[in-house]
Amino acid sequence: MQAASSGIGYGLKYQARCISDVKADTDHTSFLAGTLSLKEENEVHLIRLSSSGTELFCEGLFSHPNEIWDLVSCPFDQRIFSTVYSNGETYGAAIWQIPELYGELNSPQLERITSLDTDSGKIKCILWWPSGRNDKLISINEENMYLWNLDVSKKTAQVQSQDSAGMLHKLSGGAWDPHDVSSVAATCESYLQFWDVRTMKKTISVECSHVCSVDYHPQKQHILVTAEHESGIHIWDLRKPKVPIQELPGHTHWTWTVKCNPEYDGMILSSGTDSTVNLWLASTNHDDLTTERLVDSSARWVDPLLNSYSDYEDSIYGLTWSSREPWIFASLSYDGRVVVESVKPFIPKR
C-alpha cells in the first residue's frame, strides 16, 4: 500500500545518516540530526515540530567536529547527547551538552562533557541506560563492548568493565533491553550476541543473516525485532530463539533500520537503501501465531504492510519514533532530507 506523501520536510546542509528523538523534551516534539561531511564543518540540528503539527523549524544549530556516524539523545536530559564521529581515518565518541541559553547566543558552541576513548577498535555506537536517570553507558566497537560510568558534573567517564566479541566476529550495533537492564544485544555479521552487563559475560546468541539493526519491543519482554540486509525483518521471542516467530519481507534492496513503536503493539517502522520507509503491523504474540498456523489461513490473511512512504531520493539510514507523540516518526535520507509523518490513519482501533 502506498499513499501520497503528507510529510513535513526539513533540509540539512550536508549528507547525513543520524537522527534521534529528544525523549527528555516532554514539552515539544523534537529531534536531533547530525551531518556527515568529510570536508565541511559538520552540524547538529535541533529540529522542532510546531504546536500545530504543520511545520518543522530549526530550534538550534551547532558546529560539530568530524563526520557524525551515530547520534543519540540522552533519555533523561534534553541538552545532552552522544555522537560517534570520524575524520575519515579514525573513529571516536563523545558526550556533548547544548548550552543552556543557546537561543540567546549568536554562535552557540557545544560543550564536550567527555570523550569515550578506548585503545582499540572502530567504535560503532553508544547505548544509553534504557529507563530513568542512570550513570551507565555502553559503547560498542567492532571488537569489544564497554560498560562506562558517566559523571556529568565532573565531566568524566570511566570504563567499568568490558568483553571481547571474539577473534572471528565484528560487532556493528546493538540495543539495551528496557525490561531487563542487565541484558544487551549486539549485532554481528551473522548473529545476535547477548551480554549480561552485571558480569560482562556472553549469554545466548541467535543466528541471523547479515543483521544490521535490532530493537526491543517496548511493552513485551523477550520480544525483539531485527533488520537483515537481504532477508527482511524478523521478530523473535527469546524464550524460543531458534527460529523467528514472524518474518516480514522488508525492502526491495537492503533493509537497514527497524524501530518498534513506543506505544502501539506490533507497529514497526523499517527503512532501507530502496529510498523507502515501510510501516508494518505485525503479531508479536507467539501463541497467536502458532494458532494461526494450525488453521487454513488463506481466508484470513492480512497484509502486514500498512503503508510505504517513498517520497525520497536517497537511501534512508536515520529513523526514529517520537516518544512524546508516538503516532509521529521522523526519517532522514542520506541526502540530508528530514521528513516527519503521522501514522494516525493506520493505528488499530482498540
CATH number of 33's domain: 2.130.10.10
* Residue carrying the nine cell digits 530463539: 241
In a domain, 1, yes or no: no
Who contacts 157 (Cβ-Cβ below 8 Å, separation ≥6)?
95, 114, 115, 116, 137, 148, 149, 150, 151
As a whole number of angstroms, the distance between CA 350 and CA 340 comes to 25
> What is the tens place of the pLDDT at every residue in 227-268?
987 778 999 999 999 999 999 987 888 899 999 999 999 999
Domain of 171 in residue numbering reads as 8-292+300-345
Residues of the chain with pLDDT under 50: 4, 290-297, 299
Quick one: DSSP state of residue 2? Answer: B
pLDDT for 295 equals 45
Number of folded domains in the chain? 1
Does residue 266 belong to any structural domain of this protein? yes
Residue 60 lies in a domain: yes
The predicted structure's pLDDT at residue 296: 46
- Domain assignment present for residue 252? The answer is yes
Rounded to a whole number of angstroms, the CA Rg of the chain reads 20
What is this structure's pTM? 0.93
Q: Which residue type, as a one-letter code, is found at position 284?
A: T
Residue 107 lies in a domain: yes
pLDDT at 98: 96
The answer to the question of residue 2 being in a domain is no
Q: How far apart (Å, rounded) are the C-alpha atoms in residues 257 and 59? A: 26
Nearest C-alpha neighbor of 123 from the set 143, 104, 152: 143
User: Minimal CA–CA distance to 45: which of 31, 26, 25, 27?
Assistant: 31
Tell me the pLDDT tens digit for each residue of 87-140.
Answer: 888 999 999 999 987 777 667 889 999 999 887 789 999 999 998 899 999 999
Dihedral (CA of 331, 335, 336, 339) sign:
negative
Residue 322 lies in a domain: yes
**Domain contains 234:** yes
Sheet holding 246-248, edge to edge: 211-216, 223-228, 232-237, 246-248
Q: Which DSSP helix (H) or strand (E) runs through 294? A: helix 286-294
